[in-house]
Structure 1
Amino acid sequence: MRPGNGETSMAEKILILSERQEDLRLFRETLQTRGFEIETGAIPGEIRRAVEQNAYAAILADYDLLGDRVFDLAGVLRHDRIGTSIIIYGETFEPDTVSEMLQQGVYAVVPRRRLSKGIRDTVVGGLENRKTFMEILGMVDELEETNQRLEKERENLRRKIRELRFINRLSEKISYDLCWDNIMDGILDAGLLKVLDPALLALLYRMGSRWHLSLYLPGSRISRAGMETLKKEMAERFLGLSGKRISPVEMILHLTPARLPALRLARKNGHEPPEARFMAGDSAVLHPLGLGDSVLGMLAVAPGGGNPGWKRDRELISTLSNILAMSLKNAQEYHRLKEAAVTDGLTGIHNHKGFVDFIQREFQRALRYRKPLSLVMIDVDEFKSINDGLGHPAGDHVLRGLAGCLKAALRKSDIVARYGGDEFALLLPETDSARARALMKRVVNAINRHRFEWGSEKIRVDISYGIATTSESDGIRKEEDLIRTADARLYHAKRSLRLLCPAARTA
């Protein structure tokens, strides 16, 4: 603005809005000779634009020329926070008019008669006021920026806290969870939706010999064809990630929510189904679930439509995949040990312990849903003579062959177990006694077709069996009753020697 000796350090531009030549001459004599740069004009659009661009340090406006338009000019300066100092002069002013001008941001109102004596000091004071005003504006802007930065930091801190809480809950919930049957529910219960807004969350993993695909589709509908396409896409993405090829047909599907309404058409009401959004471009984030070089599965997350911070969430998704990888490793090891504990070492089918686990679960399910459950107890006729005549290795060979016949003849949903010694048990879910008898005819035919040989010796293998079904008697109220009934009918068949077909006797 102005140094101590009364001269300007650099030319300050002053706009004179007046048509009176004596006013202009006075201002040039008084101000221009003191180092100010004087420009003149009226109030057309180009001067308004110049004012808005903050091109002038001060404006001297003739109120007798402009009248109430000075209020518009002052409004522009105040509204746009322009630091130009505005000084109004004229012949006479009403006190109310002066008061209103000052309230609108006018720095000073000068009667025309006092221009020659006071205009220079008024302009200098206006420029000092402008300097103070600009400093205040700068501090206000800095304060606003600081507040915005602090609010952003607070929001980032709140987000980090939410993420840490989610990670802690998830770690507690699934890190040592040895069963992945409800893994997606565990992730959601830990608070995933408080930190992420996915359009789709998918987990592809192997448990034992079977591949599973667990999907979270929030409030979506999906077509059957869309689901098959999504399974194929997941298999292709996993191949590219791990080099391992899996068949989409063999994937066991787990949906969350458990019941998603089917969508007949791929598009409805103009909305794209989630599987289409997942496969569009490279929007989905893919992470292998693995420890070291071993890839155990894959996590896929597709962003929701209203998630502007999706790139920022990749770090959280990476952490999520690491936690899931550790949990999956533990679950797979537990599954392997559990399978070994319930698998018969000789035949490869379930052992007695495995049978007990299955019959307890299936019996309760049959009661809950009022579905029939059939149990078949099978015994090899004259098995002792095979061991005595050809040796125990020959007997073991017969048991392995018989187990293979049972597995080949039954459905995937049926359960085959070695009950003990030469006795086998078949659990047939949702099967009444008539269908159980039909299945056993298929089993007997499979045994008749199989060639049991030990060296050069052909071995004749006959079986006896007893069938019991939950729906056939009120006396079967627990699994022990079912076992007792089937076992009694088995030994009744062996005693009666009543032949139904060349290879079997039954009751």
Structure 2
Amino acid sequence: MNIQGDMMPSTVLLVGTSALHRDRRWHHLADRGISFVPVPRAGFRLDHSIRAGVHAILYQVGPDTDATLAFLDEAAAGPSDLCIILLGRSSKADSVALYLRRGAYDYISWPCSIGRLADSITSGLAKRRMSIEVRNLSGTLASANSTLAHDRDMLKQYNQRLAGLNQLTQALAGSLKSEDVVQALFAGLPALIGADLIGVARNTRAQIWTWSREADPVREEAARAHLLRSVEHAPSRITSGATTLRLIHSRPLPIVSSATDPAGKCRFPHGVAYDIPLVFGPHNNGVLHVARSGSIPFSEQEHQLLATVGTSLSLSLRNADTYQDIQELASRDPLTGVLNRRSLDGPLTREFKAGLRYGASACLMLLDLDYFKTVNDRLGHTAGDRVLKDLAKLMTDTVRDVDIVGRYGGEEFAVILPHTSLEQAKSLAERLRSLIERQAFSLDDGMVRTTVSIGIADAPHPTIASIADWVNAADTALYAAKAQGRNCVVVYSPLHLAPVQAAALCAAA
């Protein structure tokens, strides 16, 4: 029987006594393709140099059972798979079982036939080869499973990021105010990209918003300085969150590096940042600034994600601007630019409810130009429109920023004065009346002068139970001013004549 094959070792160690080495059986097995290297059993130790070329060991068992067990333990602790076959005299079954449990492949009672030796060596090496192949296959499978697990984790992260991106873009698109759009960005982007700092800058709207994970004012101010340098025209104001701040520092702050490469990347001493351009129109642009701590740069996938966010943010802010412009047009009187009558309902409701809930005094003034019909009849409606526009500007320039001016209809205007007492309202009304009386309104072919009658009503008031009552009260005071000769200010009192009676008196006058 020829036992050569690719699974046979190049060398088989024969560890035993010299008498074992001289046995003729080994010569017969060598003729069949097995190369034996005799090694004395006394002082034999396994080392890496011996292990490197050895696949099998025939080990002669001596009288010292512990020495054999120690050898088996040493072989089992090594990094390679050795086929160990023990040779010894007939032994007890429990001793043989102990050897096999400790790692021996076979136990051959010596002396034995050549066929018994050949079969044991052949089957032992085949089992060893199979064990190695199974182990290698297990390693390959483990590596493949690890790769699959990594790919699965990456796919899971990608799906989560894609879902987060979809949720963020929907939140951006669903907001119709610039502040709400940016707040939606601040709420969704940090978890999506691992951002610690976000900034948004716009050049034409003169706004900058910033957000930081730790609410770090120094780092946010540094980011605002960086964003100011990034937009074409430095804004005149800065918006942080929902708060408008004046720009105090004109010098660049050292925390932010001003160097930005063509790809939009910029480095910080304590992190990395990325700038995404925003485009709102031909001359309207901005920057989305995203930074995070650490030295790991943004990946290509993150760059693509941020580019998508930047596009969605640009569209959402542009839509918000359009919506705001439409709302502004819808709420303004097209001739004078002040609020129209419908838009006055909101401020009236707000101040009236505040008065009922908190006792905060507010006043409503109604102003009506005296003899304005004469201006239209004699000078034309174009001249009348010019007077109305100039009058609205004069009123807007005279009242406080918190006061609300609106055109109530025709030549009649309303002014809502929050947190204002009757005395304060009357003083303002007298100042307005005097300014209008002295004002010479310029026309294309000359000048014209006019006067106004003003009625004032405050809320809360014992006789005013609704917004309609409040407006009627101011209207009653206005007609009383007309009845008293015009060009005067009248504060509402329940003792005044009813509006119809007052109007009759005016007509009679």
Would the alpha carbon gap of residues 309 and 333 (structure 1) be closer, same or farther in structure 2, given more than 3 Å must change?
A: closer
Q: Is 2:344 aligned against 1:350?
A: no
Q: Secondary structure at the match of 2:47?
A: helix
Q: Write the deviation string for residues 477-499 of structure 1: whole angstroms up to 9, x where unpaired.
A: 54333333333333333433598
Give 2:70's aligned residue: 69
Contact 1:14 1:39 in 2 (8 A): no
> Where in structure 2 are the equivalents of 1:285-300 lying within 5 Å?
285-290=274-279, 297-300=286-289
Moved more, 92-101 or 331-340: 92-101
Q: Is 2:40 aligned against 1:47?
A: no
Percentage of matched positions with identical amino acids: 26
Instruction: Give the CA deviation at 1:188.
Output: 8.1
Contact 1:415 1:428 in 2 (8 A): yes
Unaligned segments of structure 1, at least 5 residues: 256-276
Partner amino acid, structure 2, of 1:283: V
TM-score by length of 1: 0.71
Q: Is 2:233 aligned against 1:245?
A: yes
Contact 1:58 1:85 in 2 (8 A): yes
Instruction: Give the CA deviation at 1:336.
Output: 1.8
Q: Is 2:231 aligned against 1:231?
A: no
Would the alpha carbon gap of residues 455 and 371 (structure 1) be closer, same or farther in structure 2, given more than 3 Å must change?
A: same
Q: 1:473 aligns with which of 449, 452, 461?
A: 461
Would the alpha carbon gap of residues 405 and 121 (structure 1) be closer, same or farther in structure 2, given more than 3 Å must change?
A: same
Instruction: Give the CA deviation at 1:341.
Output: 1.8
Q: Secondary structure at the match of 2:160?
A: helix
Would the alpha carbon gap of residues 192 and 454 (structure 1) be closer, same or farther in structure 2, given more than 3 Å must change?
A: closer
Separation in structure 2 between the aligned mates of residue 477 and residue 310 of structure 1, nearest angstrom: 64
Separation in structure 1 between the aligned mates of residue 357 and residue 112 of structure 2, nearest angstrom: 103
Contact 1:493 1:506 in 2 (8 A): yes
> Where in structure 2 are the equivalents of 1:328-407 lying within 5 Å?
328-360=317-349, 363=352, 371-407=360-396
Instruction: Give the CA deviation at 1:132.
Output: 0.8
Q: Write the deviation string for residues 374-418 of structure 1: whole angstroms up to 9, x where unpaired.
A: 433333344344444544333333322222233333444433322
> Where in structure 2 are the equivalents of 1:148-159 lying within 5 Å?
148-159=146-157
Instruction: Give the CA deviation at 1:456.
Output: 7.2
Instruction: Give the CA deviation at 1:230.
Output: 3.5
Separation in structure 2 between the aligned mates of residue 23 and residue 413 of structure 1, nearest angstrom: 113
Size of the aligned set, in residue pairs, is 463
Instruction: Give the CA deviation at 1:322.
Output: 3.1
Q: Write the deviation string for residues 23-56 of structure 1: whole angstroms up to 9, x where unpaired.
A: 6677986777746485969777x925985xx664
Partner amino acid, structure 2, of 1:73: E
Instruction: Give the CA deviation at 1:469.
Output: 3.8
Separation in structure 1 between the aligned mates of residue 410 and residue 16 of structure 2, nearest angstrom: 121
TM-score by length of 2: 0.70
Q: 1:483 aligns with which of 460, 463, 471?
A: 471
Instruction: Give the CA deviation at 1:473.
Output: 1.9
Q: Write the deviation string for residues 156-175 of structure 1: whole angstroms up to 9, x where unpaired.
A: 44344434544555565553
Contact 1:210 1:251 in 2 (8 A): no
Instruction: Give the CA deviation at 1:347.
Output: 2.2
Q: Is 2:267 aligned against 1:283?
A: no
Separation in structure 1 between the aligned mates of residue 327 and residue 117 of structure 2, nearest angstrom: 98
Give 1:260's aligned residue: none
Separation in structure 2 between the aligned mates of residue 357 and residue 23 of structure 1, nearest angstrom: 112
Contact 1:184 1:216 in 2 (8 A): no
Contact 1:199 1:305 in 2 (8 A): no
Moved more, 294-303 or 439-448: 439-448
Partner amino acid, structure 2, of 1:397: R
Instruction: Give the CA deviation at 1:129.
Output: 1.8
Q: Secondary structure at the match of 1:351?
A: coil
Q: 2:105 aligns with which of 101, 104, 107?
A: 107
Q: Is 2:232 aligned against 1:198?
A: no
Q: RMSD value over aligned CA atoms?
A: 4.7
Contact 1:287 1:321 in 2 (8 A): yes
Instruction: Give the CA deviation at 1:319.
Output: 2.9
Unaligned segments of structure 2, at least 5 residues: 244-265, 492-509
Instruction: Give the CA deviation at 1:136.
Output: 0.9
Instruction: Give the CA deviation at 1:227.
Output: 4.1
Contact 2:89 2:110 in 1 (8 A): yes
Separation in structure 2 between the aligned mates of residue 49 and residue 292 of structure 1, nearest angstrom: 76
Separation in structure 2 between the aligned mates of residue 331 and residue 5 of structure 1, nearest angstrom: 88
Would the alpha carbon gap of residues 334 and 15 (structure 1) be closer, same or farther in structure 2, given more than 3 Å must change?
A: same
Partner amino acid, structure 1, of 2:329: A
Q: Secondary structure at the match of 2:196?
A: strand
Contact 1:415 1:427 in 2 (8 A): yes
Would the alpha carbon gap of residues 10 and 320 (structure 1) be closer, same or farther in structure 2, given more than 3 Å must change?
A: same
> Where in structure 2 are the equivalents of 1:251-262 lying within 5 Å?
251=239, 253-254=241-242
Q: Write the deviation string for residues 134-188 of structure 1: whole angstroms up to 9, x where unpaired.
A: 2212221232233333333433443444345445555655536544453356568
Give 2:215's aligned residue: 221
Contact 1:13 1:39 in 2 (8 A): no
Moved more, 84-93 or 67-76: 84-93
Separation in structure 1 between the aligned mates of residue 92 and residue 360 of structure 2, nearest angstrom: 99
Separation in structure 2 between the aligned mates of residue 198 and residue 151 of structure 1, nearest angstrom: 26
Separation in structure 1 between the aligned mates of residue 113 and residue 425 of structure 2, nearest angstrom: 117
Give 2:130's aligned residue: 132
Moved more, 334-343 or 109-118: 109-118
Q: Secondary structure at the match of 1:150?
A: helix
Contact 1:177 1:327 in 2 (8 A): yes
Would the alpha carbon gap of residues 201 and 399 (structure 1) be closer, same or farther in structure 2, given more than 3 Å must change?
A: same
